[in-house]
Amino acid sequence: MFHFRHKPRGLKNSTLITVISVIENYASAMMTLIVPLYLYAVFKSELVIGQISFVSGIASVIITLTLGFLLSSFSRAILYKLGAFLALGSIAIFFILELVPEAYIAHSLWGVAGILTPAILSLYIRDLSTPEDLPHNQGVYSAVVNLAWLTGPMIAGALISFFEFQQESIIQIFPVLSAIQSEYFLYIMPLIIALALYFIALFIFTWHKFVIKHPHLQESEKSQESDQVHHHKYLGNFIEHFKDKKRTLSFINQSFIAVWWIFIFTYFAILLEQHEVNATHIGIILGLISLPNVLFEAFVDSFMKKVGGSENALLYGYGFFFIFVSAAFFIGYENIYIFSVLLILSQIGVAVTEPLQELQYFEGTDEKTEGKFYTIHKLGGEFFSLVTPVLIGIGIGIWGIDSVFQIIPFLFIPLFGILFFLKGRN
């Protein structure tokens, strides 16, 4: 039986989880801006970036498919530490990046870490919440984490500009940094800061240990019957997963949000750069994309109650999102800043739908069976994170990046049909 030991140090476990998540998400948010620009600087090809993301997506899908097994076989502390070490390893490889295969490895390690650590921290929030408190805690947790995604890209953009213009002065102070190729110096230095943040989060997690006797980690849950359910009846679990409306809505919501974030954090930065927006402004714009999430996600619980539950909240959220995204692409790119403002406003809708990914899954399951369906629950987002970069890369190669972005509103037309169909289903 696994146990999490804790020595009280003046902070609640839930507060520590939030602190760790914020630090780690700062590192991830910074890397989400830095890595695409760095890869584009090295390889000069959107298609290559798509291929790198595809390989990384395969690794992410594999880890997602095995997540249920990992959760039933290892303590969450071990899985979190594994994810943190993979993130540190990926940055170390980015430091010496020269060839595409190295980028495959680095991006894949980062992708796997991006599955493990958020999943484990999210489950800790579930463990530390009562059923009554879960909607509120999930909203607050999402809002605090999104604060990192608000300011992280801004900090990364400012750092890129700073290191670009102060490179010679910094090398004079620290001659050892002259070993870094000058054209990549402005990206490597912010990556060092991201590395330090990942290390700090890991240190805090290791220093504080948590007492969580979760049912899925107990020997009673590791019976032969449970093993058969998890490992030998995957197809049956898959079918059963979609018999529940809440779990199905969560799966669909997660899939579309995955597509949206791929557009924003992988290719929107490149789109802005091609429209001659400087790195500082790119960081500010990508940071402001997360501003509505920070402002509104903590109030999703109250909004849900006013509109009659999570299903109605999902429809309202995507409706608001669709209006502003459509307006952005109708106006076009003549003024890239107005276009960006409309995309930022569309995030108010995402601020409603994003916390519902986990909430609706937990509404549709209980603590004893959450591991049974958790792999399937995470699969939708990972599958679309896998195929979207490849499709976008091919589309950019044929029609150009401006044209590819204009298809986004049309992706949400079938979404509304599916959501309305499911809303009327028992």
Q: What are the tens digits of pLDDT across the range 278-302?
A: 888 888 888 888 788 778 876 787 8
Structure confidence at residue 8 (pLDDT): 37
Locate 33 and state its tokens: 């801006």
Asked whether residue 199 carries a pLDDT value surpassing 90, the answer given is: yes
- Mean pLDDT computed over 306-334: 84
- Read off the pLDDT of residues 70-81 as tens digits, 9 standing for 90 and up: 877 888 888 999
Average pLDDT value over all residues in the chain: 78
Structure confidence at residue 89 (pLDDT): 94
d(CA 293, CA 286): 12
Asked whether residue 87 carries a pLDDT value surpassing 90, the answer given is: yes
d(CA 33, CA 382): 20
Q: Which CATH class is domain 13-209+239-423?
A: mainly alpha
- Mean pLDDT computed over 207-226: 48
Which of 261-275, 283-297, 298-312, 407-421 shows the lowest mean pLDDT across its residues? 407-421
Asked whether residue 379 carries a pLDDT value surpassing 80, the answer given is: no
Q: Considering only CA atoms, which of 97, 120, 2, 112 is closest in space to residue 40? A: 97
CB 340, CB 285: distance < 8 Å: yes
Q: pLDDT above 90 covers what percent of the chain?
A: 8
* CA torsion through residues 207, 210, 216, 220, sign: positive
Q: For the range 410-419, what are the long-range contacts, defined as Cβ-Cβ under 8 Å and sequence gap of 24 or more?
A: 411/256, 411/259, 412/256, 412/318, 412/321, 412/322, 412/325, 415/252, 415/256, 415/318, 416/315, 416/318, 416/319, 416/322, 418/252, 419/249, 419/252, 419/314, 419/315, 419/318
* Residue type (1 letter), 312: N
Structure confidence at residue 142 (pLDDT): 73
Structure confidence at residue 224 (pLDDT): 35
Q: Return the top range by mean pLDDT from 137-141, 156-160, 269-273.
A: 156-160
Asked whether residue 266 carries a pLDDT value surpassing 90, the answer given is: no
In angstroms, the Cα distances linking 422 to 132, 258, 313, 349, 376 are 25, 20, 14, 19, 18
Asked whether residue 170 carries a pLDDT value surpassing 60, the answer given is: yes
- Read off the pLDDT of residues 176-188 as tens digits, 9 standing for 90 and up: 777 777 778 888 8
Q: Return the CA Rg of the chain.
A: 21
d(CA 265, CA 275): 16
CB 361, CB 377: distance < 8 Å: yes
The pair phi, psi for residue 74, each rounded to 5°, is -130, 155
